[in-house]
A and B are shown apart, each in its own frame.
Chain A
Amino acid sequence: EVVLTQSPAILSLSPGERATLSCRASQSVSSYLAWYQQKPGQSPRLLIYAASNRATGIPARFSGSGSGTDFTLTISSLEPEDFAVYYCQQRSNWPLTFGGGTKVEIK
């Protein structure tokens, strides 16, 4: 099973700041990685697929990068609605797996 390790677990930032979230895979997943955002009481929302492609309707302040084992989700300037939990997910190997999540909270 591919283990995805997200860091940090909690990121405390202010609106307008840049957020950098990390996802590290226990083995190469090529570019088969997605990022999701989940707000309290809501279902997850797809942000990024295939490591660096923004999903439909996702603002340009969200960007993804990386390949192999190291991936990054960057939010260039945090808006109030961006404070949430973010998960990475790999589709390279069965079973599909998610990372443990990074909570972006207001500082």
Chain B
Amino acid sequence: QVQLVESGGGVVQPGRSLRLSCAASGFTFSTYGMHWVRQAPGKGLEWVAVIWYDESNKFYADSVRGRFTVSRDNSKNTLYLQMNSLRAEDTAVYYCARERLNGDLQFDYWGQGTLVTVSS
């Protein structure tokens, strides 16, 4: 069965960096676009970034562009989110999510999420 397992969250000071990982299993990872979506405590969902199945395209939300970088290693079935220059407003649960079909941009499987807290 499809599984997405995020890791790498934690407490970090403003201005510092953190890298999240999402380990995928149960499907052919290299054929799906993958996304990061976040949810601040008690708030709604915010799309963060996408990477095409072959890394040919990446898109970001305005709120993270220039600070966050999405990448993937198809040989390891793993998605990453490098987060630099973190701000208090980046505090959220970060989910990785799979597209329903390649290029579909709708998410049929989600991980359990990893909490990132940016605080001094």
Contacts and interface: CB of A to CB of B under 8 A. Distances in A.
Given A43-B113, A46-B100, A55-B100, A95 B47 contact: yes
Nearest to A98: B45
Contacts of B111: 43
A55 B101 CA distance: 12
B106 A43 contact: no
Nearest to A33: B106
B112 A87 contact: no
Interface in B18-65: 35, 37, 44-47, 50, 59-62
B44 A43 contact: no
Nearest to B112: A43
What are the 9 tightest A-B residue pairs by CB atom distance, in nearest-first order? Answer: A91-B105, A43-B110, A96-B47, A34-B106, A98-B45, A49-B106, A101-B44, A46-B108, A95-B61
A44 B47 contact: no
Given A44-B37, A44-B95, A96-B105, 6 more contacts: A38-B45, A49-B106, A89-B45, A99-B44, A101-B44, A101-B45
Contact of A100 (B44, B60, B107, B113): B44
B108 A55 contact: yes
A87 B50 CA distance: 19
A101 B47 CA distance: 14
Interface in B82-120: 95, 100, 104-108, 110-113
Interface residues of B, number: 22
26 contacts: A34-B107, A36-B45, A36-B107, A38-B45, A43-B95, A43-B110, A43-B112, A43-B113, A44-B95, A44-B107, A44-B110, A46-B100, A49-B108, A55-B108, A56-B108, A89-B45, A89-B47, A89-B107, A91-B104, A91-B106, A95-B47, A95-B61, A95-B62, A98-B45, A98-B46, A101-B45
A14 interface: no
A49 B95 CA distance: 19
Contacts of A89: 45, 47, 106-107
